[in-house]
Structure 1
Amino acid sequence: MSLHMAEDGGLGNNLRHETVKRACHLAFKAHKSPEKGPGYLAEKRSSESIFSFAGCWSPDEWFAGGAGAFGEAKIDLRQFPCLRSISNDELAVVNQAFLTKFLLILEKSTLRREVMKALDDKKQIIFTGHSAGGPVAIFATIWLFEHLRSLKQIQTSLTSHYCLTFGSPLAADRIFCHAVRREKWSDHFVHFVMRYDIIPRVLLAPPSSMGAALPEILSFFNPNSRGPKNLPVENSALASDFFVNVLRNASCAASHAACTMMGSTNMLMDTISGFIELSPYRPFGTFVFCSGNGRLFVVKNPDAVLQLLFYSLQLSSEGEGPEVAKASLTTHLVYEDEINQNLGRADPVYFDKFVDIPLNSNDSIGTDMKTIDDALTDFGLGARARLCLRAAIGLEKQKFINQSKIEERKGPMQKAMSELEWYRSICETRGGYYDSFKQNKYNEDFKANVKRLELVGYLDEIVEMLKRYELPEGFEGQKEWVYLGTEFRRLVEPLDIANYYRHLKNEDTGPYIEKGRPRRYRYTQRWLEHFEQKPSGSRGESIIWAEVEELSFKAYSNEPFTALRPKIKEIEENLKKWLEEETVAKDALSEGSSLVKLWKDLRQKYNEVQDITGFISSG
């Protein structure tokens, strides 16, 4: 999403200023509506449908019982299959209470039917929410994008749909951010944040630290509350304590993240994080920071957003604390005025287009640098904050530098794999690719092992970067690398398995699949399964030789057929399917291969065992 002015006076990329203003208006209308009914409001126009979600004002509706210290819980992949790191297989963590609210709305209301009708009518769909309605809008948008992806319509339909939040608390972790950026959904989430609004920062603090202040603060924002509406504002001690507590926890989260970005080796930070539990919640999407004086600051870098959430709330002096504390509450209710007055009045400042950040104001700096310097000054960002923003830019830049280095490996990898393809072709008369390498009788087998080690080195380097999240989020979803990783896995893993069992590593370590399979094959298999939207474990064609080895060990150990039957049937079904798909080479059924020998022995003992050599002609 771009906030540059389009020729029609809109925001460009199918999101007009008028749409943002209407969404903000509807978000506040939902905020003021009673806490009953479907939990959302809908406005349907000729070209768009806007769905706005109401907030919630009880602490129990912000922090679910039984969840973590911050009300967090891991996502259920059956509901949101994309919300994970593919390579590391880490699940996203979200605020359980807000997710539960969305799922109840989806189940109990007509939301699903109305959204599907809007899709059929080819309308632009906007999900929006103010305050605690924001996370519900976020989950609704993810639900929509998951639905479109399952229909393989995500590329053609995604461009027009958006999530717009106003003063939304953070509600998801870094893995959520990673997944959304990988899927190229990130630009479709736009979060407006007033500089002094405390609510977007509030979930950086655990509920246990807020005590009795939280219910009173939430009651203040509840339009249906019968209590004294001005209590938190008049009670400066309560407002100040709440403000300071949130800011202190935000400081811990931002400082720890900054040290990580800067590569700090100081053990103190690890020690501190060991007894101070840090919030799991992190920003994602596009943030539009509103200064309150007309300036809009657009930031997409999630690490920079976290620093801004903390540093833009800093006090100029201790004396202004009570007033800023009160403003941190009242500012949460002024988004509609801010959007109507300032959206489109002047071009925003785009943080992500700057490759450097000035540490101090200087009259001699160029025009572009003066623009960013003025914006940073407007948000009260001093030298320390600017250093942290520089680190965020540097970290993002380093990820792309790392990817450039990895891209240079493509040529050598493809060349080495071509040589292994040639090696496989000459193994057809030697019992097949797997068995020839395992027996290691010929000079070509030695050369193939050299190529195996060369390719393993390339992939292990990539795996280590992915393990530490040192590559751009989109890397593991890129078609070229999915295909290259799949080709690598199908060519090299059989050789790794042969090497494993030739050296009897199974006797010391255990079965290859359970104990010895390296990450490089697990990672590349997950890439393909995610890309093809297949169930986890469904693309295991490269481990068929490990299955054969373990079955052979059990069969020749005279285990009863009742124990062997499930694995025999599984291998037969998979082998037939993979031969038809050509994901397992036909040399697997070469005369003299260990697979053919095992099946001949099994057929002599058990009538149920199929003649697998017939699978080639049926393919």
Structure 2
Amino acid sequence: MDSVRAAKPLFSNGLDLVDSVVSSDILCNSWAAISELQSQIDRNHQSPPSSETVKIREFKHPEYRIIAFVTPPVAISYLQEEGDLVPSSSSETSEFQFLCSKDNPSFAINKAAISLFNSLQDKLSSLKAQVAASSKSIPHIITGDCLGGSIASLFTQWLLCTLDSATRNRPLCITFGSPLIGDGGFQQAISQYSTWSSCFLHVAHINDCFPRLFLLSTPEQSLYRPFGTFLLCSELGGACFDAPESIIELLTLISRERSGGTADPQIFNYKSVIECLEWRLICKNHSPFSVADADSLKVGITAQVAATGLMQIQNMDIDTLWRKIGMPEKDILARKNQALDPAKSLNKMKVYLAYFEWYKNKSEDDGRGPGYYDSFKNKMFRRDHEVIKFKTELEMYWKPVVEEAEKRPQRAGAPMRIRWLFAGTNYRRMVEPLHIAEYYKWGNRSYIAKGRSKHFKLLEQWLDKYQKQPQNSVPNNSKMKKIMVSITEDSCFWAYVEEARILCRLLNSGGSNSREIAKLVEFEKYVMGLLKNNVVSPDIFLESSSYMQWWREYEDMLGKKMMGASHNSELIRFMEEGGYHQYKSGTFVFE
């Protein structure tokens, strides 16, 4: 984890990414698929596209499948007329409600794109099921040009929400000359989840008017926002950009330069663009540039803008370029640099939890120790201090993982992949008691209301939601749990114990009142419920544990009749008759 926390040097790989994409032939093969479908359409006749006129076809390659979407030529006037944004509150965008989240409650999608997408529902539903089923064994590229690219983007996003978050073969969407299709809310919903954002590559030539169709005169005024990676190119070459602000700025600069002089959208062909990029890859002939600053990131961003041809067009000075394009790209790169790959680190976290298992067993010391909760609270041994390092590492892993899961656009009932949910549950049950120990050691009260971390709350809520789903519920009478649990199921158990001890001290000091007595009665019922379900670890009955300290304090109160002369309960009988000794050995059976 130290390597994750350490600052890493930032450098831009926008030129290298172009080389990688071009050398893989996925651009060439994607455009070839589009071209084949275009040959089946009358390209000289512009008309509003419909479900009958859209061409959809799968093309097989040895290493992947390509699904291409092609529409008849679309008039600029038609797209401008249909350029309104349809809000997420509309029934037209119902298939994309999963994009809404607590931090991003609304979005909007281009009217022309969502209307055409909805008209294709019958075809796309069966196609989505087919691709989702085969994605386990083979990757898919989803592609399209112009409005067909918009449908490809929406289909890809619709498909992504159905795939398991750990699916290795996520689809890659490649669009050519596609208009922007959503507002800031749409962009944010996709961009805040890095594994979704990386599934989109939009190729846009500076002479193609469609990618900049919905932009206004200044970037700040534009309602439309880009998402994913944009490969901006010209006859001089191309470069990739990720920051929405940088992409908007570059597209706006192109619009100002090309206003009134756009190429005929009916004849623009990306085949020559791809061939040019391939030739430059062979010759390694990136556009020349000069920059005095030795900062590698600035040099990289400057080279990217130079490769698109915009520096020659705009005669942009380096300071302006860095402020408007370089800084947003730097922010994106910094976030990527700090990003945690949960899949790569999960096994390492399991090793840390294994250390906690050792620590817990060592703290019990064959039944003579205080238990790991009280051992950590009192920190009388070296191991009690050493475990802090592992506790910190686990927290630094799980907090960002839970935060990303909460922000992620979600389909119903799937806030976190089951593997992570169960691993997070093990972490919560093992580690949260140590947070509780630290909290009460310093005299604090009301941990659950005032001191509990949000990521613990969410992990518990998600597990509860998962278990309440019918297909995941387990009948109570399916099997009697005879194997004792190694860790208490309720990770807040020790907080309830600490609060019960505080109540006992208040009552013993003369602060008796019916409210405090009622809370203690509730605590009795709570503990007995855990015991009956065999979901509390036997280490609570170690003689030096906080629970047994509470029991001795409570037993003293009972002897003084402070709970009432006739007060008796199932827990009191269980404790006084020594049932907990049998519970520790796993031989007690509740009737």
Answer whether TM exceeds 0.5 for this pair: yes
Which residue among 435, 443, 450 is the counterpart of 1:515?
450
Which residue among 174, 194, 198 is the counterpart of 2:205?
194
Find the counterpart in structure 2 of residue 543 from structure 1. Answer: 491
Find the counterpart in structure 2 of residue 116 from structure 1. Answer: 129
Separation in 2, partners of 1:479, 1:201:
41
Separation in 2, partners of 1:466, 1:61:
37
SS at match of 1:513: helix
Q: How many residues align?
A: 481
Q: Is the 8 A contact 1:131 1:169 kept in 2?
A: no
Find the counterpart in structure 2 of residue 289 from structure 1. Answer: 232
Find the counterpart in structure 1 of residue 270 from structure 2. Answer: 339
Q: Is the 8 A contact 2:226 2:247 kept in 1?
A: yes
- With over 3 angstroms needed to count, the CA separation of the structure-2 counterparts of 1:130 and 1:457, relative to structure 1, is same
Find the counterpart in structure 2 of residue 62 from structure 1. Answer: 84
Find the counterpart in structure 2 of residue 139 from structure 1. Answer: 154
Separation in 1, partners of 2:300, 2:515:
77
Separation in 2, partners of 1:74, 1:97:
14
Find the counterpart in structure 1 of residue 327 from structure 2. Answer: 391
- With over 3 angstroms needed to count, the CA separation of the structure-2 counterparts of 1:563 and 1:443, relative to structure 1, is closer
Find the counterpart in structure 2 of residue 247 from structure 1. Answer: 217
Matching residue's letter, 2:259: A
| Residue deviations 1:476-507 (CA, integer Å, cap 9, x gap) | x999999998887555421211233454533x
Q: Is the 8 A contact 2:88 2:107 kept in 1?
A: no
Separation in 1, partners of 2:395, 2:312:
46
Runs of 5+ consecutive residues of structure 2 not aligned to the other structure? 1-15, 294-298, 409-415, 474-486, 504-513, 556-567
Task: Quote the offset at 1:339 in angstroms.
Answer: 0.7
- With over 3 angstroms needed to count, the CA separation of the structure-2 counterparts of 1:370 and 1:115, relative to structure 1, is closer
Find the counterpart in structure 1 of residue 444 from structure 2. Answer: 505
RMSD (Å) for aligned C-alpha atoms: 6.4
Find the counterpart in structure 2 of residue 275 from structure 1. Answer: none
Find the counterpart in structure 2 of residue 18 from structure 1. Answer: 32
TM-score between the two structures when normalised by the length of structure 1: 0.56
Matching residue's letter, 1:63: L
Find the counterpart in structure 2 of residue 239 from structure 1. Answer: none
Find the counterpart in structure 1 of residue 108 from structure 2. Answer: 95
Separation in 1, partners of 2:307, 2:249:
18
- With over 3 angstroms needed to count, the CA separation of the structure-2 counterparts of 1:58 and 1:379, relative to structure 1, is closer
Q: Is the 8 A contact 1:413 1:455 kept in 2?
A: no
Find the counterpart in structure 1 of residue 561 from structure 2. Answer: none
TM-score between the two structures when normalised by the length of structure 2: 0.58
Matching residue's letter, 2:188: R
Separation in 2, partners of 1:136, 1:570:
54
Task: Quote the offset at 1:307 in angstroms.
Answer: 3.7
Superposed, which structure 2 residues align to 1:90-489 within 5 Å? 90-91=103-104, 94-96=107-109, 101=115, 104-105=118-119, 108-117=121-130, 125-131=140-146, 134-149=149-164, 154-155=167-168, 157-158=169-170, 161-171=172-182, 172-179=186-193, 181=194, 183=195, 185-195=196-206, 200-201=211-212, 246-248=216-218, 250=219, 252=220, 279=223, 282-291=225-234, 293=235, 295-300=237-242, 302=244, 304-315=246-257, 324-327=258-261, 330-331=262-263, 333-334=265-266, 337-347=268-278, 358-359=290-291, 373=306, 375-376=308-309, 377-378=311-312, 380=314, 382-383=316-317, 384-388=319-323, 389-396=325-332, 398-399=334-335, 418=355, 421-422=358-359, 425-427=362-364, 429-438=368-377, 440=378, 443-444=380-381, 450=385
Report the identity percentage.
15
Q: Is the 8 A contact 2:30 2:174 kept in 1?
A: no
Find the counterpart in structure 2 of residue 268 from structure 1. Answer: none
Q: Is the 8 A contact 1:299 1:305 kept in 2?
A: yes
Matching residue's letter, 2:314: G
| Residue deviations 1:140-181 (CA, integer Å, cap 9, x gap) | 11222333326x6x21x336x5342533215232352131x2
SS at match of 2:518: coil
Q: Is the 8 A contact 1:134 1:166 kept in 2?
A: yes
Separation in 1, partners of 2:144, 2:522:
58
Matching residue's letter, 1:308: L
Task: Quote the offset at 1:429 in angstroms.
Answer: 3.1
Matching residue's letter, 1:333: P
Separation in 2, partners of 1:396, 1:464:
21
Matching residue's letter, 1:558: A
Q: Is the 8 A contact 1:191 1:286 kept in 2?
A: yes
Q: Is the 8 A contact 2:110 2:181 kept in 1?
A: no
Which residue among 42, 67, 70 is the counterpart of 1:50?
67
Find the counterpart in structure 2 of residue 558 from structure 1. Answer: 518
- With over 3 angstroms needed to count, the CA separation of the structure-2 counterparts of 1:499 and 1:370, relative to structure 1, is closer
- With over 3 angstroms needed to count, the CA separation of the structure-2 counterparts of 1:403 and 1:286, relative to structure 1, is closer
Separation in 2, partners of 1:543, 1:30:
68
